[in-house]
Amino acid sequence: MSPFSRFAIYFAAVARCGSLRRAAEKLHISASAINRQILQAEEEFGTPLFERLPEGLRMTTAGELLYDNLLRWQKEFQLTRQQFDELQGLKRGSVSIGMVQALAEGSFAAALADIITSWQWLELNLRVADSHAVSEKVRQADVDFGLILDPEGQAGLSVLAFVELAMGVVMRPDCPLAQAAALSLGDLSHLRHIVPRRAAYRARPGGDALSALRLFPGKQHQLQ
DNA sequence: GGGAGGGTCAAGCATTACTG
DNA sequence: CAGTAATGCTTGACCCTCCC
């Protein structure tokens, strides 16, 4: 049972797909049926929701406003359903988390496993993507919160928590620095090195340690 | 039975990409 | 550059289901 009208479902599908045809394929109905709903709504609202372009439909400002609100209403309805369950004494809920690949294993994965074990009634939906995609999902209310790198570089998002991550260096056992107890950036500067893509390591805007390595571009290779 | 709402199908039109 | 195919939106005609 959904409190959202056909129009809301169709509108959201077109907004996501950017095309009537693709939305129609996704919803398994004809494009003309969706088009009628949208045209009818635009007439009622007195404002166009989409721009008709050769390559498909693009949301107007009014359309974007409606889409944002629709996502928020859907999220709030989920919370309402949870509150209904609580009223009936049911303990149930779901949390959607977006996270970068780097966190999908190790201590964070172990912590998630603990949560799943401790609260078996809780449904966890995990989405793995790059930082930019995760932050977009948070903006669009597609996930409840995200775990990303470079959170301070994402405009329009609230950073609820922040942790410093230790940086590691891997090298062959026969490398002269392999036995060193500690390394500084200066120790590494004269060696050829490989760094991950910028999006994967950028921890804070400006002043991060790896930025210093960019002083030696001739000795650097970047992973794609 | 008839109206309303919502669906499909087919045709038309516009734009873009491809091809000779 | 013109012809053609592909893609996508719109519209008209018609059908089905539900409700009064």
pLDDT in tens, A74-96: 777 777 777 777 776 666 667 88
Joined tokens for residue A38 = 């949208």
Closest nucleotide relative to residue A24's CA, C1' based: C8
Provide the token pair at A107: 């201590």
For residue A61 the two structure tokens come to 């400002």
The answer to whether some atom of strand B lies closer than 7 Å to the beta carbon of A28 is yes
For residue A185, the model assigns a pLDDT of: 73
Question: Which residue segments constitute the domains of chain A, with CATH numbers given?
Answer: 1-89 (1.10.10.10), 91-164 (3.40.190.10), 166-223 (no CATH)
What pLDDT, on a 0 to 100 scale, did the predictor assign at position A155? 64
Q: What is the pTM of this model?
A: 0.53
CA distances from A22 to A30, A35, A82 (A): 10, 12, 32
A36 CB-to-strand B distance under 7 Å: yes
Strand C: which positions are within 7 A of a protein CB?
7-13
Q: Is the pLDDT of residue A220 over 60?
A: no
Instruction: Check pLDDT > 50 for residue A45.
Output: yes
| Contact predicate A79/A92, CB 8 Å | no
Query: Does nucleic acid strand C have an atom less than 7 angstroms from the CB of A40?
Result: no
Region A44-70 average pLDDT: 80
Distance, CA of A126 to CA of A104 (rounded, Å): 9
Strands A56-59 and A50-53, sheet pairing:
antiparallel
Share of chain A above pLDDT 90, in %: 0
- Give the integer Cα–Cα distance in Å for A63 and A48: 7
Strand C within 7 A of A213 CB: no
